[in-house]
Each structure stands twice: as structure tokens, then as C-alpha cells.
Structure 1
């Protein structure tokens, strides 16, 4: 089959493409490289006028005319590549704003996609109307909006999520759902809000390139290395402040037994290698399931503090603290879990092996690609 994947988060669509190609299909990924992460794509859309002097010029033009020059530039790039958006067997959107343009422009581009392709599917991966509304209504025990409710940061800092429940994005959501064959969730944080929706096809876990990401047995004879990767744009959303508080507690008690490595907003090609020597990786707090970064770290055999809630344990029939560590939004709790690992280094080795085995069983990119093919073809 000929498949078009529009948009990218981390490397989820590109890894899916690799799985599809390994199964004999043709796939093209279109995207902006997920911002500073600079993820590999086949057709690159550049997001211009979002930094430096050009950003202030853009704001001035918008206030004066109501025109968003970034969106206009995305439309220009789309028109340049228009021939690449027609006549696919399957098209999948990464979320409800795959081109990262304003809703008016996004709708125009997506209309062309819908008009020129029969089988378009949506992936609920990252924020969208249904998941954000569910979080706004506080139906989760905690969510990416919990720090917002706790007055950590400004509304502007959480706008990338909150915007999805505004009138223009709600209208975009309705437009997309009228034109897609179905929606697929990439993990439980998107699966739970979608349950019962007539367009919901089910959850397919994120694909991980198990052939490329090599497992390295951990040596726990020396200092335990704890890696904390921070995305400055999502500092509170990911719970990085809580991780830093936990690390501060740990540093006071075990400075002679641990080494803490902190990096900020690294491009993907640098980030994926930055934690090679780590035993433990701190990923995110406000999640029920693992995102892409956590899964890739688990594939390498790292002990990852991330979403590993009871719903996840039940889905995969796992015992707590055997494959990943559930990072609750409580610095003392995270510090106590870290302390448990430091005092029981053999547990680190056990969890490391279990994590790799779990990824091979549940997230192998070729197996996941096969699941997508089954879901898509069943809903043509």
C-alpha cells in the first residue's frame, strides 16, 4: 500500500514508516521535525517567524491585519508540494493540527487532503480537543493540566494545550471527525478520553525501532547515574519541577553514590545518545502511560520514571515497579523510589532487562506497523 503520514511527534510517524516499509509498503512522512527536536521527515515544512525579530514583526502584522504569516507560509509550502498529498491508499494525521497552522489555514489544507484521498485516519497523539476537554473537566486523577490548576506558570505557558478547547479548534475537531474513517490512540492517556466514541477504533502502542536501539546491560558497581532531560517549553507540563525537587532531596542524602546529569531542550539526535551511560531516566510525571521518549529509553534498558499507572499495569498484566517506575506528582514519593533503587542496585538490573523485554513484546515497530495495517484495512 501507499501511505501518507502527516505530522510528527518525537519520531512516532517516522518509526511507523520504517515498520511499514519493512513489511513491503511505501510510506511518506510530512512534518516540521517536531520543532527543536529536528526529527527526520521525508517532506519538511519549516515553521518560520516564531523566534527573534521576525516573531515580533509577525505579531505586529497580526495585530494590524489579523493575518498570521507563519500560517500563510505553511500554506505556500503546502501548495509547493501539493502533488504529494493525493491518491494514497491511507493517510494518517498525527493529531488535529498536523500542519501547525491556524485553524482557518489548517482546515483549507486538510480539505484538500480529504478531497483527494478516500481513507484518512486520525491518531490521537499529543493534545487534541477530546483529551484536553477531559483534562479540563478533571476526569483524570491528574493530567498535563494539573500544574495549571495549581497555578504553576501562566495561561500562556499552557496555551499549546488549552487552545484545543477554544471555538476555532473545536470547530476544527468537528470538521476532522466528519471526514475521517476513524481515530486511533497511541497510549492510555488518549485512549481513556476516547472510550465510547463512535469513531474510536482502539489503542495501538507507539512503535519503537527495536533493531536500531541496542540494549546494553547495566553495570551498577559504581555511582548510579540519573539522567533528567528537560524540554523548557514543557517544564511544568512534564513535571520537571517535581523531578528537580526529588533530585535535591536525593543529592543531600546520597551525593557520594549518585551522579545527576541534566540536559535542556536537546535536538533528538543528541538527546537519544545523551543518556547512554545512565542507569535511571526521569521522563514525565503527569501521565498514565509511557510516551515515545520513555519507550526508547526502556528499549535501551534504562529504568524510567514515567507514566506507569494501574490502568497500564492491568492492560499489560504487569506488577508494579518491574518494568517502569510510576512517577507520581509528589517529590517525596519519587525521591523514595529513587532511594529504593540506589540501596538495591540489583533491582536496577532486573528492571532494565524487563523493560527491554517489554518493548520487544509490546512495541516492536514491525509488529505495530502490522497492527496499523489491520486497523486501517478493516475500516476502508
Structure 2
């Protein structure tokens, strides 16, 4: 089959592309690099005008006074110029309800062109979208990326990226996509419950991770236990990073001679991985039911990851608590206790890390996940 992967968040489509090609498909990926992460694509729609200093100041001025984002406009223009290359694919897969990330009216116009000139359409629920943001508002008692906003509405400006999905303009996009897609899948448990009442929802297909039997990092604790916190300023509050930072402050004072704390901010994926590889414990996020992509990449390398791991996740994969990762919670005392246990019992770091690596091999191996997508494509 000829498969078009439209959009990229977190490296999901890049990894899936490798798996789909390995089982014989022809695959093209269109993306904008996802900002500072700089993920590769076959056809790039990355905004480049903002690299010009003058244009950058103009952009800031236009956004401040008119709320006009020229990066969104540029993505739409660049995508429009590529439409002639995006025809006659057997399957088009959208990474999200806003795979192009332009203005809503233009997103719909461009997607209509895609839908009219291709065959099967699949939507992956990955990241914020209309369904899971609406679900969060209707289930405020459940932890979600909006929990910090519900607890402190003054943080609203930090959640504009998510609240945008509840605007009337995006709701029209959501309804348009829902009408035209053949199937919807969730990439992790955080997106399952919001989709269960939608007839086109086909269930969970876990994130694909490129890994093999030799990828686990042989990283013995020779001197200090290295704890890594990679910060993305854009989702600082949505990930609950403040809880990790406060816990690390105490851990650093309590175990000065035993730990080395590494913190980075907004680094490209390749640089992020280099820090990850030399660390033993990775702090990912607290407002989640399942693991995001960075957590899975870390687990594949045999790291102990503090991340989403609620009862739904444990039950689905028939796991015990703390077996393959540490459930992170928005509770500093709890995080300090869990970190202290690992520092005081370093043999558990190797044990959980080894379990994590085996879990990724079993449940997230990229070729096996590609086969699940292939089965989905053939069923619709």
C-alpha cells in the first residue's frame, strides 16, 4: 500500500513509518518537525520565515495586537504548495485533528483536498483534541493535562494550546473530520475513554518504539545515581514539572553525595536522547494514565521512569504496580518517598529498568505495532 502519514507529534509517525516500510509498504511523512524537537519528514511544512530576525519581530507584533500567528499561515501555505504530491494514497493517517496546524478554516479546506484525492482515512488520537478536552471538562475529578488549570484558572494562558480545541472554529473541524474518517484509534489510555461512544473508534494501538534486543543501555551505577528531568516550557504545567522540581530540591539536599541531577530545557530530540542515555532515573509527567513517547523511549533503554501508570494501564497489560515504571502523582511527598526508596535500594533501579525494556519489546515493538495498523487498514 501507499501510505501518507500526515503530521508528527513526539516521533510516533517517524517510528511507525520505519515499521510500515519494514513490512513492505511505501510511506511518505509530512510534518513540521514539531518545533524545537526537529523531527524529520519526507515533505516539510516547517515555518522558516520566523528565522529572520525582522520577521520574528513582526510576528510578535502581529500576535500581540491582532492575535495573528504568521507561523500558522506559513504552514498552511507550504502545505498548499505540496497538495499535488499528496494524491492517490491508499491510506492517509492524521496524527491529530490539527495535523497541519494552520488556522481552522484553512485546515478544513486543505484536509478536504486530501480527503477528496485519496482513499481510506484514519485519525490517531494523539495529544489534545476536541474529544479528550471535552471529556476533561466533564470529568474534572479525573487527572488530566487540564487539572492544573481547573485548580488554578489563573494559569489559563499556559493552556491556550489545549483550550483552542474547544473553540467553535475547531469544533467544526472536529465534526468535519469525524464525518470523513473511516477509523479512529487511540495512541494511549489517556485518549480511550473520550472516544468510547464514537462508532468509528477502533480501540487502542500502542505507540511504536524502534528497539531491538541490544538497545538496553548498560549503565551501571559506578558513582552517583543520575536523575534526568527534560523540561518542555510549552507544557510545563500540563506535565506537572513543578512537582518534580520541588521533589528534586529535597532529594539533592538529602542525597548530595549519592545523586547527580540533570535538567535541560527545550532541547532537540537527539540532544534529549544523549542526556537520557547517561541517566538512571527519568522524570516524565504526573497528569497521565499511560506513558508518553519520551517515557517509552526511556523505558526501551532500561531506565526507571516516573510517568503515567494508573490502574487501567496496569490491568490492560496485566502488570503489577511499580513493575515496569513508577506511577508519578502530583504529590511532592509521594515523589520524594519513591525517589528515596530507589536511591536507598539501587538494585531496584536495574530490576525495574530491565522489566521496562522487556515490556517495550513485548507491547511497543515497532514492527509488531505496524502490523496492527496494517490489520486496521485492511479492515476498513
* 1:44 matched residue in structure 2: 44
**Correspondence 1:332-351 to 2 at 5 A:** 332-351=333-352
* 1:255 matched residue in structure 2: 256
When the two chains are superposed, the root-mean-square deviation of aligned CA atoms in Å is: 1.9
For 1:352 and 1:214, how far apart are their aligned partners in 2? Answer: 12
Kept in 2, the 8 Å contact 1:279–1:303? The answer is: yes
Kept in 1, the 8 Å contact 2:212–2:361? The answer is: no
The alpha carbon displacement at 1:142 in A equals 1.0
For 2:304 and 2:233, how far apart are their aligned partners in 1? Answer: 23
1:29 and 2:25 matched: no
* 2:18 matched residue in structure 1: 18
Kept in 2, the 8 Å contact 1:189–1:287? The answer is: yes
More divergent stretch after superposition (60-69 vs 272-281): 60-69
* 1:72 matched residue in structure 2: 73
For 1:341 and 1:64, how far apart are their aligned partners in 2? Answer: 50
For 1:63 and 1:106, how far apart are their aligned partners in 2? Answer: 23
* 1:311 matched residue in structure 2: 312
The alpha carbon displacement at 1:63 in A equals 8.5
* 1:245 matched residue in structure 2: 246
**Correspondence 1:81-160 to 2 at 5 A:** 81-139=82-140, 141-151=142-152, 154-160=155-161
- Cα deviation 1:209-257 (Å, max 9, x = unaligned): 0139811234134211100100011111111100001111211211111
Give the TM-score taking structure 1 as reference length.
0.95
* 1:204 matched residue in structure 2: 205
- Cα deviation 1:62-107 (Å, max 9, x = unaligned): 7888865434322321232122211001000000000110101101
Gap runs ≥5 in structure 2: none
Task: Tell me the secondary structure at the aligned position of residue 89 of structure 2.
Answer: coil
Kept in 1, the 8 Å contact 2:208–2:366? The answer is: yes
Kept in 2, the 8 Å contact 1:323–1:358? The answer is: yes
Task: Tell me the secondary structure at the aligned position of residue 155 of structure 1.
Answer: helix
For 2:335 and 2:66, how far apart are their aligned partners in 1? Answer: 49
Greater than 6 Å deviation, 4+ residue runs: 62-67
For 1:66 and 1:282, how far apart are their aligned partners in 2? Answer: 34
Task: Tell me the secondary structure at the aligned position of residue 275 of structure 1.
Answer: helix
For 2:276 and 2:133, how far apart are their aligned partners in 1? Answer: 31
Kept in 1, the 8 Å contact 2:75–2:102? The answer is: yes
**Compared CA separation, residues 257 and 44, structure 1 to 2 (3 A):** same
The alpha carbon displacement at 1:126 in A equals 0.7
The alpha carbon displacement at 1:196 in A equals 2.4
Give the TM-score taking structure 2 as reference length.
0.95
More divergent stretch after superposition (73-82 vs 223-232): 73-82
* 1:295 matched residue in structure 2: 296
Q: How many residues are matched? A: 379
Task: Tell me the secondary structure at the aligned position of residue 155 of structure 2.
Answer: coil
For 1:152 and 1:284, how far apart are their aligned partners in 2? Answer: 20
Kept in 2, the 8 Å contact 1:213–1:299? The answer is: no
* 2:173 matched residue in structure 1: 172
**Compared CA separation, residues 102 and 279, structure 1 to 2 (3 A):** same
More divergent stretch after superposition (132-141 vs 3-12): 132-141
* 1:6 matched residue in structure 2: 6
